[in-house]
Structure 1
Amino acid sequence: MPDISRRAAILGGVAASLGAAATLAGCADAKASNTGSFLVRRASSVLTMDPARGELTNADIRVDDGRITEIGTGLSAEGADVVDASGCIALPGLVDTHWHMWNSLARGFGQTSKGGFAPSMASISGLFSPEDSGLGVRLALAEAVNGGITTVHNWAHNVIGPAHAEAEFEAMHSSGVRGRFAYGYPQALGAAEPMNLTHLREFAGSLPDGLVSLGVCARGPDRSEDAVWQREWDTARSMGLPITTHMASNAEAAALGGVEKLDARGGLGPDVQLVHLTAASPADLDAIARAQSPVSISPWTELQVGYGLPPIAAMQNAGVPIGLSVDNTVLSGSADMFGVMKLTADLPGGMDAKQGVVADATVLDWATAGGARSLGLGDVAGVLAEGRPADLVLVQSDSVNTAPVYDATTLAVRAANPSNVSFVMIDGVVHKRDHRLVRVDVDVLLAEAQDAMASIRGRAGI
């Protein structure tokens, strides 16, 4: 196991890099108690995403000690902090299934003096210190909560050294946001070199309890040699860790036959998430569906980087489990899951020249319950139901861009945006109230992010 004093020093440095006010906010998050009671009162609609309950109108949600205890009308407010939800839609916290959080400092870096996305990021990725990576994750998490995302899958694909992994994990753990940390590799790692599997094993044995679980993000057959990805697969599975990999992102990658390689070796399954599959063939999708490997799509970034149009309808028709993704704010610009839902709902109709190819209700499921199931977190996220952890958001339905309301699901998928999110609770702890983040000192966080990125740009000559 890693030396505890070394880890404490690293994590202390991460906290110090955020400044005094941000450090206090981070400590409050890490130690926030979910003991206590809340009554979310009179939501105009409650989209439970629970097939047994469906949508409720003019309903209350009672939360006690971090869990939903009742959903109904006229519930008791005794001993509870009452949250006025009139004029709001209540829904489960949104689930992002693939997000490179470390590079959130590089927002808008998709085109620079160095060229497009790949050369631009290559010019700066090696310059990120552990503190920079942790700060990028903290910035991403603040934006996630602001936009109603309560579960994240942090795809850490710039783990330059052990300290980078530890800094990213600590940023997640201290935030109080639910999620998975997918341990990865340095951006500059050669295709013949494996990730640091020795530290992965040490790291896995020393993690604290909490809302953040561990997985592995690997380069897979599309981006590493066969002996390398096979060793990484075997190691992750021997440790019981879920795996995620980019696959068939474009025609060139798809031509490598990575899906077929995985299928032939038993490398697919519910524990292996495939990301993008923009150029996947019908045979690929059939193999993935048979194995029930979940897929994460990120239509905004797939369009901008030139991967092409994600075959959303074909995935759905094949029976592939689907989750949605911001991917990165370098390309997407913002962590707007509402925008991701809207584009996901409309792209199949544009591709097939037919309205309604994918239903709004289906897309909302992919952003909540279905996304949680795809990460193996279906028992703790994505659904509002008695006995489950209280991860919920309120979306204003009486704003100029959301009213009048015809259908709550359509509003969530097509009209809402992060500015409409007025309240966010994760595991019974309030993170946003009255449109204000209450567990993050935003001014300090943004100042630190600006300074860190200015330093990185200066060293990169951009």
Structure 2
Amino acid sequence: MAISRRNFLLGSSAVAVSCASPLFGHAQSIPAPQGEVVLAGGYVLSLDPVIGDLPKGDVHIRNGAIVAIAASIAAPGVPRRDMAGRIVMPGFVDTHWHMWNSIARGFGNSRLGPFAKSMGALSRVWTPEASALSVRLACAEAVQSGITTVNNWAHNIKARDFADAEVEAQKASGLRGRFSYGYPQPIGKAVMMDLDGIEIMRNEEFTEKTRGLLSLGLCVRGPDRCEPVAWRGEWAAAREFKLPITSHIASDRAAAAMGGILTLHREGMLGPDVLLVHATHASPSDLRLLAETKSPLSISPWTELEVGYGLPPLAQMMDARVPMSLSVDNMVLAGNADMFGVMRVTADLAAGMAEKQGALSDRMALQWATMGGAEALGLGKIVGSLTVGKRADLIAVRMDSLNTSPVKNVDFLLTHAARPNDVDFVMIDGVVHKESGRHSRIDVPALLAESADMIRRLRIQADI
């Protein structure tokens, strides 16, 4: 699509949504939050500094909102769900997930070469149907893993139909989050992304009445991945549209040497609305600039290790007090959407690099995976902790599994012992998505069969 001259010169409640077209197959309507329930007798890990932890407590939910948290709640006539033997806690928030390529799990290397070459070949034959199916698969895995909010980093938008496909699938999932409208993979370094399409989508799909649990943002390449005419124009357009920005930065040594963080700071382009990703080779002075401007950072340690970026400078990030969050990044490299594993590798890398046990506490890793993520996406007043008045996005994790029992303390259990299969219950905005350890809204076998068939056909077309 053409970029308008104007843009070139710039250099709370859930709604029912459905996917009726064949593109989305088994997607279903999302019901509005219903009635009341008390989640009773679980270990309540609120991550709210006032409420703290309740070794045995109740959480009262009404119409999708948390209305009370206490050791015991008397609510005559209100249904009660027994949460004994479970940790009731906020759902995880993933701040950087390339959902469009989820069906390409494991294709980070092929006969064509490593990640960039393999995915480059696949991206050229990718279709809107493949993107929609990937988002459906990613959202299903998010629910399985206890991730209730996602930032869909959509950086293979070849045309508007690709964006429409991802948005419709993401809305139909019932997850909370952001759709970060991106650029096509083969875009030139001096070419701006489809800013007209973004403006149209903002005005049509993301009004107060149409956005549901999903908000709109931009994922852009930034100063170490494209020419100034492109990133300056995209940044300016995002600010004009009043949309949040996310960008990879300082991922490897060569990128960091280009001084992108300092450039953004000098041009007044950092701030709470700018979520930067990786910063694996950011300098201490770069990190201080992020802290000073309250620019949040998302790290994905598994993929940063796997793609060869290196080790995130966790001690310096903590010392600078950068607002931190965590992500799984992509299934091509990460393999699975296990936020428990992400927390573990984050805490253990910090200890190993500092040569000090507990350099990053288990509780801090939990904070980064929940409230830190919510704040990074501008949702800190809505989700991220179990707080009266916030929306009911929460999970329950079993404490009596073979791998979680006996329990010494819940922080260690969650960051080092638990796995996605231990997530017994998932609720998003008051709607139950998983109970008794099973998806309640998704035909998983059918979704997996569709995914396997789609990637088989794309692999043949890409000849990889």
* Shorter-normalised TM range: over 0.9
Aligned residue number for residue 267 of structure 1: 269
Distance 1:81 1:452 in 2: 42
After TM superposition, the structure 1 = structure 2 runs for residues 72-111 of structure 1, keeping only pairs within 5 Å, are 72-111=70-109
**Structure 2 residue 252 is the aligned partner of structure 1 residue 250:** yes
Asked if the contact 1:14/1:135 (under 8 Å) is kept, the reply is no
Residue type of the alignment partner of 1:251: R
What aligned pairs does 1:304-383 form with structure 2 within 5 A after superposition? 304-383=306-385
Deviates more, 1:249-258 or 1:79-88: 79-88
Distance 2:343 2:91 in 1: 14
Alignment deviations for residues 297-342 of structure 1 (CA, whole Å, 9 cap, x no partner): 0000000000000011110110100000000010000000000000
User: In the alignment, which residue of structure 1 is the partner of 2:29?
Assistant: 28
CA contact (8 A) 2:24 2:169 kept: no
Deviation at 1:110, TM superposition (A): 1.0
SS in structure 2 at match of 1:108: coil
**Distance of 2:326 and 2:347 partners within structure 1:** 11
- Name the structure 1 match of 2:12: none
Match of 2:8 in 1: none
Q: What is the CA deviation profile of residues 128-151 of structure 1, one whole-angstrom value per residue up to 9, with x for unaligned ones?
A: 111110110110000000100000
> Which amino acid counterpart does residue 351 of structure 1 have in structure 2?
M
Paired residue for 1:294?
A: 296
Q: Please give the alpha-carbon distance, in whole angstroms, between the structure 1 residues aligned to 2:334 and 2:355.
A: 25
Change (3 A) 1:18 1:241: closer
Distance 1:368 1:74 in 2: 25
Count of aligned residue pairs for this structure pair:
444
Residue of structure 2 equivalent to 1:185: 183
Partner residue, 1:218: 220
* Conserved 8 A contact 2:19-2:28: no
SS of aligned partner of 1:97:
strand
Describe how 1:434-445 pairs up with structure 2 within 5 A. Answer: 434-445=436-447
Q: Does 1:170 align with 2:172?
A: no
Distance change >3 Å, CA 264–CA 121, structure 1 → 2: same
User: CA–CA distance in 1 between the matches of 2:211 and 2:306?
Assistant: 38
**Corresponding residue number in structure 2 for 1:460:** 462
Name the residue aligned to 1:5.
none
For 1:14 and 1:297, locate their aligned partners in 2 and report how far apart those are by CA, in whole Å.
Answer: 36
Task: Tell me the equivalent position of 2:39.
Answer: 40
Letter in 2 for 1:151: T
**Deviation digits for residues 249-285 of structure 1, max 9, x if unmatched?**
0001101111111011001111111100001111111
1:209 to partner: Cα distance: 2.9
Partners of 1:209 and 1:308 in 2: how far apart? 38
CA drift of 1:381 comes to 1.3
Paired letter, 1:276: H
8 Å CA contact 1:28–1:439 kept in 2: the answer is no
Task: Report the RMSD for the aligned CA atoms in angstroms.
Answer: 1.3
Q: Would the alpha carbon gap of residues 14 and 300 (structure 1) be closer, same or farther in structure 2, given more than 3 Å must change?
A: farther
- Partner of residue 6, structure 1: none
Cα distance in 1, alignment partners of residues 414 and 429 from structure 2: 22
Q: In the alignment, is the contact (CA less than 8 A) between 1:91 and 1:393 conserved in 2?
A: yes
**CA deviation map 1:58-114 (0-9, x unaligned):** 111111111111111332353433221111001100000100000001001111111
State the secondary structure of the residue aligned to 2:97: coil
Q: 1:458 & 1:203 partners in 2: Cα distance? A: 33
User: Given the alignment, which residue of 181, 198, 205 partners 1:200?
Assistant: 198
Amino acid of the structure 1 residue aligned with 2:131: S
Q: Distance in 2 between matches of 1:216 and 1:79?
A: 46
Determine helix, strand or coil for the equivalent of 2:119. helix
Deviates more, 1:152-161 or 1:377-386: 377-386
Mapped contact 1:126–1:160 kept (Cα < 8 A):
no
What code does the residue aligned with 1:35 have?
Q
Aligned twin of 2:402: 400
Any conservation in 2 of the 1:134–1:167 contact (CA below 8 Å)? Answer: yes
How many Å separate the matches in 1 of 2:394 and 2:377?
18
Q: Which amino acid aligns with 1:318?
A: A
Distance 2:115 2:412 in 1: 33
Secondary structure of 1:206 counterpart: helix
Which secondary structure state, in structure 1, belongs to the residue aligned with residue 403 of structure 2? coil
Matched to 2:23, the amino acid is: S
Distance 1:193 1:381 in 2: 37
Equivalent AA in structure 1 for residue 340 of structure 2? F
Give the distance between the partners of 2:283 and 2:66, measured in 1 at CA: 43
With structure 2 as the length reference, what TM-score do the two structures score? Answer: 0.94
Gaps of 5+ in 2: 1-16
- Cα separation, partners in 2 of 1:457 and 1:55, compared to 1, 3 Å: same
Q: Secondary structure at the match of 1:89?
A: strand
- For residue 98 of structure 1, give the secondary structure of its aligned residue in structure 2: strand
Partner-residue secondary structure (3-state), 2:68: strand
Note if contact 2:19-2:169 (Cα within 8 Å) is conserved in structure 1: no
For 1:53, the equivalent position in structure 2 comes to 51
Structure 2 match to 1:137? 135
Mapped to 2, the partners of 1:387 and 1:292 lie a distance apart of 25
Q: Look up the match of 1:4.
A: none
The 8 Å contact of residues 41 and 82 in structure 1, kept in 2 or not, is answered as: yes
Q: CA deviation at 1:380?
A: 1.2
Structure 1 runs not aligned, ≥5 long:
1-10
Rounded to whole Å, the distance in 1 between the matches of 2:275 and 2:19 is 33
Aligned to 1:7: none
Match of 2:9 in 1: none
Aligned match of 1:8: none
What is the aligned partner in structure 2 of residue 227 from structure 1? 229
**Post-superposition shift, 1:48?**
0.4
- The 8 Å contact of residues 141 and 175 in structure 1, kept in 2 or not, is answered as yes
Cα distance in 1, alignment partners of residues 233 and 78 from structure 2: 52
What amino acid sits opposite 2:367 in the alignment? D
For 2:113, the equivalent position in structure 1 comes to 115
Q: Residues of 1 paired with 2:294 and 2:328: CA distance?
A: 22
- Deviation for aligned residue 1:18: 4.3
The percent of aligned pairs where both chains have the same amino acid is 51
CA contact (8 A) 2:93 2:373 kept: yes
Contact kept? 1:424, 1:430, Cα under 8 Å: yes
